[in-house]
Structure 1
Amino acid sequence: MMHPIRSFKALAKPMRSAVILGVVLALLASACLVQLGVLQLVEGARTAQAATRARTVQVTLGAKRGRIMDANGVVLAQSVERYTIVGNPEAAQDFTPLDCTPRTKDYCQQLDGKPLKTTGVAAVAQLLAPLLDMSAAEIGGKLAGTGQYAVLKKDVTPEVRRKIAALHLGGIVYGELSSERVYSNGSLLGVFLGGVDDEGKGVAGVEQLEDKALTGTDGYEIYQQGNGGEQIPGTMTESKPAVDGADVQLTIDRDVQWGVEQILRQSKEKYKAGWGIAVVQNVRNGQIVALADTDDVKAGSDEAKLSVARSVNETFEPGSIGKVFTMSGVIQEGLHTMGDRFTVPGTLTLDGQKYKDSFEHGDERWTMAGILEQSSNIGTILASENLSDDKRYDYLRRFGIGQPTGLGLPGESQGLLAQASQWDGRTRNTVLFGQGYTVNALQLTNAVGVIANNGVRKPQSIIKSVTGADGRTRGSETGESTRVIDEAVSKQVLNAMESVSEHYASQGFAGVDGYRVASKSGTAEVAGADGRLSSLISDYAGIIPADDPRFVITVILKDPEGAYGGLTAGPVFAEIGKFLMQKYEVPNSQPRKDAIPVEW
């Protein structure tokens, strides 16, 4: 029989081990509980905060660029809703299509009603290809790389984006809101409207001129998003709405612009001209109603972004239209009137320089009005004999020659007018009949507008108004009107210009039935591609109706068959004038009764 004490000792050893083990386990459990408490109370909060931060995003709310409209509110340029389709290459590579069953039919993937036989990038590419109008190989190439962001296609319509969303590829493919600049009239006002770059910034034409007004201010939203990139409801913490850009309204009438462009392009073909330019200006307010050329460039195209409208940039000698400014100065200075009589020889030599007219003639008895009607260089020199060089220069400047138009158009060339002190013995006389200086079409139009506007030069404008996102509208900022010559002087010159028009109308050129017209033609030799005076500029500027001026129209043709401005640019002027009178339903003119004699 075992001794009791010995038996107790035998049992005590295992019990002691069990007790020790129990204590150790209790300590471990306590440590785990403490650690669990730390994780739940301290680290849990930190982990939750980190998860929240990971899910929280700031999303930019893009502002829409403002519209460009014509004088009647017709939209010429606007930004429309578009999407950039983005793929997640890493997620695409792990993609497994979900077969369509009655239970999964609302979020499964199939192609043409049949299960996909591929997985990963190939399956995603097969689903997207018909919607993006791209090959599966091209899409697959974009998704085969590393990273989580790959642009698949830009400028996708909302309709296509909705179809992509219906593929249930959340977290793999999604759309980022963007916009596309759309020009609904093709090449109408193409280069003049210009275009925007990839960032939506205006880089040419009106888009550049009014970029500050057209550009809006982006907003933002801060919220938490789910695994598919969707916003988790109720998690938005901060937001600022986007402010769209202002709408810019032009003074140009789209219908008139279209009509003028059509007439100009047809005339270019008819006269086989190198190019053509036409400007229509409202006499009463200086607003440009049409600004056309024969360059066929679509607005918003790369060419439009890299070019300047010929009507803004092209400069040329105005030729005999310049006689209008000369004679205005002569009369204003009290040297002559339009009724003064001159005997004009066929040639004239001054200071060793020989001058002639465009046609041969003997001694002619013309009044100064007759000199303008016959466009005589010699007669203009004789009438200006006592007009000093400084005055010759001063009056050209007063009419706006050699100065910016004030429109601020990108790429505008202001032409060239040298100081009188720089003129040589010949230039001092050639400037009297529009040679020896250059202008652009806008300058020339506004200069003739002085005669139409009773001797006052009004500032031109191309922007009618700017309307902000808040609905507030401001008119265009223009300079002050400037009196160039007295009203009585302008009426004399207008009278003589009307005789010019009648002269051409009697020959079947440049007349507008039912309306009195005051005009002047011009022809000037210019340097050709060979650097010599081998090219011609033919131009014609007129006021219609002459008895109640509404519009100034200027037409310029380069190297037309028929050469002389009155015979080529003149008929184009007449077509445009007829179109304007019909469109605006201008009443017919009253008969002319006050013509200044042109001969004596």
Structure 2
Amino acid sequence: MPRLRGSSLRRAAALAIVIVGAVVFLVRLVDVQVVSAAALNEDAKGKRAVPVTISSVRGDIVDRNGNVLATTDERYDVQLSPKNTKLNDGKFWRPDPERGGAATVEVTAQQAFAEIGAITGQSAEEIQKIVDDALAKNPKSDFAYVKRGVDLTQLSALKELGIGWLTFETQYRRTYPNGAVGGNLVGFAGQDEKPQSGVELSQNECLTGTDGFETYERGADGVTLPGSVVVQKKAVDGGDVQLTIDRDLQWEAQQTINQQVQQTSAEWGYLVIMNVRTGELVAVAEDGSVDPNDVDASDPSKREARSFTSPYEPGSTFKAITAAALIDQGAATPLTQNLTPDYLEPEPGVRFGDAFPHPPIQWTLTGILTQSSNVGTAMLGSSLSPEVRYDYLQRFGIGASTQAGLPLEDSGYLIPVANWDRQTAYNTMFGQGVSSTIVQTAGVYQALANGGERVPPSVVRSCVAADGSERRLDPGDSVRAVSGDTAKQMMQMLETVANEAWFKDIIAIPGYRIAGKTGTAEQVDPATGAYRTDYVNSFAGIFPADDPQYVAVASIAFAKSGDGAEAALAAFREAAQATIRTFQIPPSSGQYEPLPTEY
């Protein structure tokens, strides 16, 4: 009996151990599969999951017709996992295309390096060095670039190699399909598409998208596990920015101004074309504009939109402001008579003269404008107080930036009237002692051509988001510069100027009536603080004069050979002809009726 009892106890103890073990196992199993399952799965996933950024695409910049001026090309960075190139003694297997089916072929890391290099233009030794350098810094290194910026053809060839430790990331590079056409306005982007200038910079908020990201799981050999890719956040691409310029007209304007600058050996030249009704700039051309694809090849001083950033004293084109103020204030009419000498000293220490010697001539206000007489302009203009004349300069947009949609802009130089000295009070009547950008000057003539209403100029029309919604740029409110009747009389005077002055044949366009005014202005030399002895020559013209559609202003600075004035006039004519062709402007109707210039 004792022996039987001992045997029973042993069996009971063994059974108890089994039961306890089973309970422990069951508890652990429940903990793993139920209680801690989520945490363990997440931990395992975290060790295998790889986050990948889904890059958003920067929006395009297009002209008024949708022609692309700036866009983003896809390129691809080739990467590898240095540590995984050492797995299995640097060997891996991939399908054998010759035998087919499930057959595989062994590939060494050195063979893979040679295959990769044959596509990327690198030697196997170069790629081996990339791996060795990465592992020398970190024996567990899981990332190194092989080649950055390969194209789609290279990417496809690399993927066909079937190398598990080779990965790819999409990158984007800014390109400019039309090169320097509009480059001064479009601007350019630097490394990683960081905007540097122009619309690229001013409209960056519209152009920039929002990146997304996805995750995938990979095995110990670095190969992505099938079906493991999960998009966590979708990327939202940037919006497109539409400009007001016309690409083809912009090209013609740039060709025109470059040619005139080269022929006259001028220091610089600008040419802008503006829609009379809307204030939209359809061309903003400057000599030597930057090609955003090759910024370093351009003159650093010519990389910005100088039509907005570089003001200069306009000269006689501003006599139109003085004449308009006189008429608007009831102080004169186009036929007001004035016996005009060629030189005047209205008060001690204040003196100025006309550009050519002449005896006192009986000119009307129209004649004074036609002959571009400084003396006659000042004699009649001085009937208005400096405060009134200052007010009209402001009404025409002088001294205030245009807010046309570019990041950099100079408002020009307009001294507060309280600080005008005696000479400035006279000089401002004929465009000296004050400065403006060429766009501001165009705005003066836009107002006169538009019934006296100045519409703020614009170069950016809208931002179209990725979802198709459109946001129009608000250029600001229109300003009543002068009355409609004053503007009508000014148009008659400016058409008389264009048809009676010495330059009438240079600007003539058969079938189209032209109105406009020349300007010849001295400029202060920053080095000396004194006026230079050479000039900036300009012409501001309106066409057709009987039904104003567009304003074009051309300026040629400091011509060293040839005639700068004739170059500016020729640039205007070519710009007007190109605009007429581009927008199919019908010929003028009715006959030009000149106003008397003398009495």
Task: Give ranges in structure 1 of 5+ residues lacking alignment.
Answer: 1-11, 110-114
1:143 is matched with: 131
Q: 1:270, 1:402 → 2: CA distance? A: 33
Question: Residues 576 and 57 from structure 1, CA distance in 2 versus in 1: closer, same or farther, beyond 3 angstroms?
Answer: same
CA contact (8 A) 2:523 2:535 kept: yes
2:116 is matched with: 128
- TM-score, normalised to structure 2, is 0.87
1:5 is matched with: none
Q: What SS does the aligned partner of 1:539 have?
A: strand
2:499 to 481, 492, 502: 502
- Give, in angstroms, the shift of residue 193 of structure 1: 0.9
Q: 2:323, 2:220 → 1: CA distance? A: 80
- Give, in angstroms, the shift of residue 518 of structure 1: 0.8
Question: Residues 230 and 437 from structure 1, CA distance in 2 versus in 1: closer, same or farther, beyond 3 angstroms?
Answer: farther
1:445 is matched with: 442
Q: 2:412, 2:537 → 1: CA distance? A: 17
Amino acid in structure 1 at the alignment position of 2:270: I
Matched, 1:310 2:306: yes
Q: 2:527, 2:101 → 1: CA distance? A: 74
Q: 2:430, 2:331 → 1: CA distance? A: 17
| Range moving further from structure 2, 190-199 or 374-383 | 190-199
2:197 is matched with: 204
- Give, in angstroms, the shift of residue 50 of structure 1: 2.8
> Aligned runs of 1:181-580 on 2, under 5 Å?
181-226=174-219, 232-235=225-228, 239-299=232-292, 301-303=294-296, 307-352=303-348, 353-504=350-501, 508-528=505-525, 530-531=527-528, 532-534=530-532, 535-561=534-560, 566-580=565-579
Amino acid in structure 1 at the alignment position of 2:131: L
Aligned residues: 576
Q: 1:553, 1:209 → 2: CA distance? A: 25
| Range moving further from structure 2, 359-368 or 199-208 | 199-208
CA contact (8 A) 2:556 2:565 kept: no
- Give, in angstroms, the shift of residue 136 of structure 1: 4.8
1:161 is matched with: 155
CA contact (8 A) 2:399 2:414 kept: yes
CA contact (8 A) 1:97 1:108 kept: no
1:85 is matched with: 78
Q: 1:443, 1:106 → 2: CA distance? A: 75
CA contact (8 A) 1:526 1:537 kept: yes
| Range moving further from structure 2, 252-261 or 219-228 | 219-228
Q: 2:399, 2:526 → 1: CA distance? A: 25
Amino acid in structure 2 at the alignment position of 1:523: T
CA contact (8 A) 2:264 2:563 kept: no
- Give, in angstroms, the shift of residue 231 of structure 1: 5.1
1:8 is matched with: none
Amino acid in structure 2 at the alignment position of 1:550: Q
Amino acid in structure 2 at the alignment position of 1:157: D
Q: What SS does the aligned partner of 1:402 have?
A: coil
- Give, in angstroms, the shift of residue 230 of structure 1: 5.9
Q: 1:191, 1:425 → 2: CA distance? A: 39
Amino acid in structure 2 at the alignment position of 1:533: Y
Q: What stretches of structure 1 move > 6 A for 4+ residues in a row? A: 21-39, 104-109
Amino acid in structure 2 at the alignment position of 1:56: A
Q: 1:398, 1:555 → 2: CA distance? A: 22
Q: What SS does the aligned partner of 2:548 have?
A: coil
Task: Give ranges in structure 2 of 5+ residues lacking alignment.
Answer: 136-140
Q: What SS does the aligned partner of 1:242 have?
A: coil
CA RMSD of aligned residues (A): 3.3
CA contact (8 A) 1:523 1:564 kept: no
Q: 2:455, 2:466 → 1: CA distance? A: 31
- Tell me which structure has the larger Cα radius of gyration: 1
| Range moving further from structure 2, 93-102 or 125-134 | 93-102
Q: 1:450, 1:369 → 2: CA distance? A: 19
CA contact (8 A) 2:243 2:459 kept: yes
Q: 1:504, 1:170 → 2: CA distance? A: 79
1:9 is matched with: none
| Range moving further from structure 2, 317-326 or 154-163 | 154-163
Q: 2:317, 2:249 → 1: CA distance? A: 25
Q: What SS does the aligned partner of 1:587 have?
A: coil
| Range moving further from structure 2, 406-415 or 428-437 | 406-415
| Range moving further from structure 2, 311-320 or 216-225 | 216-225
Q: 1:391, 1:107 → 2: CA distance? A: 93
Question: Residues 238 and 256 from structure 1, CA distance in 2 versus in 1: closer, same or farther, beyond 3 angstroms?
Answer: closer
Question: Residues 497 and 142 from structure 1, CA distance in 2 versus in 1: closer, same or farther, beyond 3 angstroms?
Answer: farther
- Give, in angstroms, the shift of residue 63 of structure 1: 1.7
Q: Deviations over 1:11-47 (max 9, x none)?
A: x9xxx9xxxx999999999999888777766568576
2:138 is matched with: none
2:170 to 177, 201, 208: 177
CA contact (8 A) 2:216 2:224 kept: yes
Q: 1:200, 1:107 → 2: CA distance? A: 46
CA contact (8 A) 2:265 2:561 kept: no
Q: 1:64, 1:412 → 2: CA distance? A: 29
Question: Residues 503 and 97 from structure 1, CA distance in 2 versus in 1: closer, same or farther, beyond 3 angstroms?
Answer: farther
Amino acid in structure 2 at the alignment position of 1:322: F
| Range moving further from structure 2, 297-306 or 333-342 | 297-306
Matched, 1:589 2:588: yes
- Give, in angstroms, the shift of residue 266 of structure 1: 1.3
| Range moving further from structure 2, 316-325 or 135-144 | 135-144
Q: What SS does the aligned partner of 2:391 have?
A: helix
- TM-score, normalised to structure 1, is 0.87
Q: What SS does the aligned partner of 2:393 have?
A: helix
Question: Residues 572 and 134 from structure 1, CA distance in 2 versus in 1: closer, same or farther, beyond 3 angstroms?
Answer: farther
